[in-house]
Amino acid sequence: MVKLYDANAEILKLLSGTDVHVSIMVKNEQISGIASNEKMAEDWVRENVLVYYPDTKIRYILVGNEVLTYNNQKMWLDLVPAMSLINKSLASHNIHNIKVGTPLAMDIMGSSFPPSSGNFSSRIPNEVMVSLLEFLNSTRSFFFIDVYTYYPWSVDPSNLSLDYALFKGGNLTYKDPGSGLIYTNLLDQMLDSVIFAMQKLGFPNIKMAIAETGWPNSGDIEQSGANIYNAATFNRNLIKRVTGDPPMGTPAKPGIVIPTFLFSLYDENQKPGPGTERHWGLLNPDGTPIYDMDLTGALSEQDYTNLPQPLNNKPYKGKIWCVVANGVNIMDLEPVLDMICSQGNETCDELAPGRGCYEPVSIISNASYAFSSYWAKFRETGASCYFNGLAVQTTIDPSKISSHIHAYLARVIDRNVKKASFFVSNTLRKLKLDFSEIEKEFPNSL
């Protein structure tokens, strides 16, 4: 089964005549229009479903994506009306095997531990959640949830077992003091907290579906546990569970089938934000595999080739700087540098004439300083070392390169002097600096 985050015409055509089941999506910005206009709902179904169905096996229509995460109460109130009109349109065309739902994130939960204490967040009006549950219950659809064990583990790695988050806890178990249920992994705990929350609102029989789950294969230096070994371990163990026969379900709902979408097929190398945002894929952007993966669940662990051992499962305690990435176009740096330094937040004060970091006068040097300064100042409020793909983290203090050498090398690049490498290497040798090491850590300086 394939989940699309829109209703891409090209993909839906390519899947025509195959046995691949498909989930398509109504975008968030379309919800309010559809909710208030039955014709718009009908048009959406005609253009995105009827053109391809039944040759393309569309099985789910997801209305919006993590709608309740956004602080848009109009969209919250429009969600179920939009779902209802989409469902009404399907029924008018005698289509009854496409379920309508909406994927929500775990931030809808006010409490999730222990699972039996599960309840929905008080920030979400009761009328919004109850109307959604009434719709899902009456249409026998699924409660779609995006659930990632990586996030709670990464926030509290000292108290949460990594093996427990990766389905390899062995004899490690947790007994819920409220329900008496025994848990062997973190995913089941998180799913059951949603089940208990629905039960408390009077809906014990709504089926669960996992709209997104997975584990990042890489990330920023301080994002511990984001590596190929853990990603492959989580996803392989997950597939074993969801393809099991008979179905495993969860402790609160044993034996039930839980439709599950693995996120994601490809790494998203141009996605902004922290490093993990770009590294959830099974495949690289060019289509090559990041690690071996059998989606049927037939292969055992012994059937796979050895994985690279994890090197970052413990939190990183050292210092980190944010500098210009290797291979960037210098012309792209100036507008980003202007944006950072024009905000009046003292980020670039030290770059002013006569201040400590004025020398060397180089756009590369200035950008590296500005990136590090801005990131250090605002990382606690969500800033990342990305800057449109122009920045990268390093554990080596950029100031270790002497300022006059850095200035000389930066001028070489800025002027694009093609034969400078001979003079650069000679200068470095005279100063007894390791050329290869500096080039490795600061590629844009040489």
Residue pair 116/102 in contact by the 8 Å Cβ criterion: no
CA 309 to chain centre: 23
Determine which one of 29, 47, 127, 212 is catalytic: 212
Instruction: Supply the DSSP string of 302-332, one letter for each residue.
Output: GGSPPPPPPS-SSPP-S--EEEEPTT--HHH
Residue 187 burial (CB < 10 Å; 0-12/13-18/19+)?
buried
Determine which one of 66, 268, 359, 441 is catalytic: 66
Residue 81 to residues 5, 38, 62, 97, 104, Cα–Cα distance (Å): 20, 10, 13, 20, 17
Per DSSP, 4 falls in state -
Helices then strands, counting H and E runs in the chain, come out as 14, 14
**Residue 66 annotated to the active site:** yes
Q: Could you give the angle at the alpha carbon of 413 between the alpha carbons of 407 and 419, nearest 5°?
A: 110
**Residue 38 annotated to the active site:** no
Residue pair 56/49 in contact by the 8 Å Cβ criterion: no
Contacts of 134 (CB under 8 A, 6+ apart): 203
Instruction: Supply the DSSP string of 228-273, one letter for each residue.
Output: HHHHHHHHHHHHHHHT-SS--B-SSSBT----EEES-SB--TT--S
Residue 396 burial (CB < 10 Å; 0-12/13-18/19+)?
middle
* Cα–Cα nearest to 36, from 100, 71, 85, 73: 85
Residue pair 360/338 in contact by the 8 Å Cβ criterion: no
- Residue 215: its H or E element: none
- Residue 118: its H or E element: none
Phi/psi at 260 (nearest 5 deg)?
Answer: -135, 130
Q: What residues are annotated to the active site? A: 66, 212
